[in-house]
């Protein structure tokens, strides 16, 4: 009887010890466990603006679509506003209006990282949080930056979108957005490094700009192809530029002779992917990225996110901030086999 009692006592003590250890886990693990388990406080309604490079461009409309859905869940009074052309001064004018109206958070993708900085620093000085996404501003002019993808990975994907089809000795043209666009310049730098290391005989013969306008990109694409008849591939790291480049190839009857790669939303390039002018093209889910922008805005407004650490963004999952930079996604490759699975 005594032995049975001792065993029972030991088992009971062991269970109490395990229960105590489990109860202590949140304290032992600290903010990591608490950060993942905590619900986002949406009790206070906040005002958040999303300022794209320009209104009307489909990739930014996809961001807006995701942002609108997330704003409903997060008790955000949401405003989508921006210039009608890809103008840094136009964005600054919008920022000044938002500062005067005391918005809680300004989110933006930049036309020019330095020209936007003074207005955004002024916003931060007045207690307004700034979240950049897609194309960054000067680091001291924002609280957080949501980077679409790792730059090196995306540079590789851009090169491969044409190299697989134009060949390792191809003569390539680049058709970008504007000369000062932060994100495009990061990608161009990354693709050049990858091209030099992987395809040393591939050459870039010209770099042109379409001002994030489909019509101006078409004109630039036509100019590229007419002035450089030896070009067999165009890399267009901009939504409007890729559409313009593909339209130029189609207009000049060069399908099968010139392949277009780059990045744009699936709805804008679907016809060119199906016709074979664009064989594959990397991007990411722009709608979900818009959702993430709102989650970060909500957390930033509430001082509930750190510049270094992990956080939860609802159904989007967990993300990591490092020195205020949050990488959203790996490149998502659209091609003829999968493009009809995506609509934005």
**Per-residue pLDDT reduced to its tens digit, 115-133:** 999 999 999 999 999 999 9
Residue 15 has pLDDT above 90, yes or no: no
**pLDDT (tens digit per residue) in 188-207:** 999 999 999 999 999 999 99
Unique residue bearing structure tokens 């693709």: 191
Res 39: pLDDT: 79
Answer for the pair 270, 239: CB distance below 8 angstroms, yes or no: no
Q: Count the neighbouring beta carbons within 10 Å of the beta carbon of residue 124.
A: 16
Residues with Cβ within 8 Å of 235's Cβ and at least 6 positions away in sequence, in order, are 158, 159, 161, 162, 172, 173, 174, 175, 191, 261, 262
Residue 125 — φ and ψ, nearest 5°?
-65, -25
Residue 30 has pLDDT above 50, yes or no: no
**pLDDT (tens digit per residue) in 197-244:** 999 999 999 999 999 999 999 999 999 999 999 999 999 999 999 999
Answer for the pair 95, 123: CB distance below 8 angstroms, yes or no: yes
What percentage of residues in the chain have a pLDDT greater than 90?
A: 86
Please, what is the end-to-end C-alpha distance for the chain in angstroms?
Answer: 73
Residue 256 has pLDDT above 60, yes or no: yes
CA gap 66, 57 in Å, rounded: 15
Sorted by where each starts, the structural domains of the chain and their CATH numbers stand as 46-148+286-328 (3.40.50.2300), 151-283 (3.40.50.2300)
Unique residue bearing structure tokens 């664009």: 278
Half-sphere exposure of 330 (CA within 13 A, CB side): 1
Residues with Cβ within 8 Å of 229's Cβ and at least 6 positions away in sequence, in order, are none
Q: Count the neighbouring beta carbons within 10 Å of the beta carbon of residue 206.
A: 16
Answer for the pair 125, 174: CB distance below 8 angstroms, yes or no: no
- The sign one gets for the Cα dihedral 59, 65, 70, 76 is positive
Residue 78 — φ and ψ, nearest 5°?
-105, 140
- pLDDT band at 186; cut points 50, 70, 90: very high
In this structure, the dihedral spanned by the alpha carbons of residues 292, 298, 303 and 307, taken in order and rounded to 10 degrees, is 10
Res 335: pLDDT: 97
CA gap 326, 319 in Å, rounded: 7
Question: Residue 281's Cα: distance from chain center in Å?
Answer: 15
Q: What tokens were used for 148?
A: 């679409």
Q: What is the pTM of this model?
A: 0.80
Strands 105-108 and 144-147, by their bridges, are unpaired
**pLDDT (tens digit per residue) in 42-99:** 999 999 999 999 998 888 999 999 999 999 999 999 999 999 999 999 999 999 999 9
Residue 7 has pLDDT above 70, yes or no: no
Q: Count the neighbouring beta carbons within 10 Å of the beta carbon of residue 105.
A: 26
- The sign one gets for the Cα dihedral 178, 184, 189, 195 is negative
- CA dist 277 → 97, 235, 319 (Å): 43, 12, 36
- pLDDT band at 17; cut points 50, 70, 90: very low
Res 58: pLDDT: 87
Mean pLDDT over 24-33 rounds to: 35
Strands 259-262 and 233-236, by their bridges, are parallel
CA gap 277, 251 in Å, rounded: 11
Q: What tokens were used for 210?
A: 């379409």
Residue 3 has pLDDT above 50, yes or no: no
Res 341: pLDDT: 94
Res 65: pLDDT: 97
Helices (H), 57-111: 58-73, 88-100
């Amino acid at each position: 009887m005594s032995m049975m009692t001792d065993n029972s006592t030991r088992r009971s003590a062991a269970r109490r010890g395990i229960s105590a250890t489990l109860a202590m886990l949140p304290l032992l693990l600290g903010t990591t466990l608490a950060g993942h388990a905590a619900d986002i406080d949406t009790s206070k309604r906040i005002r958040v603006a999303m300022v794209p490079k320009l209104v009307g461009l489909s990739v930014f409309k996809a961001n807006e679509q995701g942002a609108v859905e997330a704003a409903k869940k997060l008790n955000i009074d949401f405003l989508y506003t921006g210039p009608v052309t890809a103008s840094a001064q136009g964005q600054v004018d919008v920022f000044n209006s938002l500062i005067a109206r005391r918005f809680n958070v300004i989110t933006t993708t930049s036309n020019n990282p330095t020209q936007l900085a003074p207005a955004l620093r002024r916003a931060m000085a007045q207690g307004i949080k700034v979240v950049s996404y897609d194309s960054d501003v000067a680091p001291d002019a924002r609280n957080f930056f949501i980077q679409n993808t790792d730059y090196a990975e995306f540079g590789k994907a851009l090169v491969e979108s044409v190299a697989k089809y134009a060949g390792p000795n191809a003569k390539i043209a680049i058709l970008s957005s504007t000369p000062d666009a932060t994100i495009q310049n990061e990608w161009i730098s990354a693709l050049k490094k990858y091209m030099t290391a992987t395809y040393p005989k591939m050459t870039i013969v010209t770099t042109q700009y379409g001002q994030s306008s489909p019509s101006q990109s078409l004109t630039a694409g036509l100019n590229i192809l007419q002035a450089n008849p030896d070009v067999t591939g165009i890399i267009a790291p901009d939504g409007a530029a890729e559409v313009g480049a593909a339209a130029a190839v189609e207009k000049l009857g060069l399908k099968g002779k010139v392949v277009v790669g780059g990045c744009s939303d699936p709805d804008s390039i679907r016809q060119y992917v199906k016709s074979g002018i664009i064989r594959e093209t990397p991007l990411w889910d722009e709608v979900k990225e818009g959702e993430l922008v709102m989650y970060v805005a909500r957390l930033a407004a509430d001082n509930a996110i750190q510049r270094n650490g992990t956080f939860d963004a609802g159904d989007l999952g967990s993300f990591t901030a490092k020195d205020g930079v949050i990488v959203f996604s790996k490149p998502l490759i659209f091609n003829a086999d999968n493009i009809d699975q995506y609509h934005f």
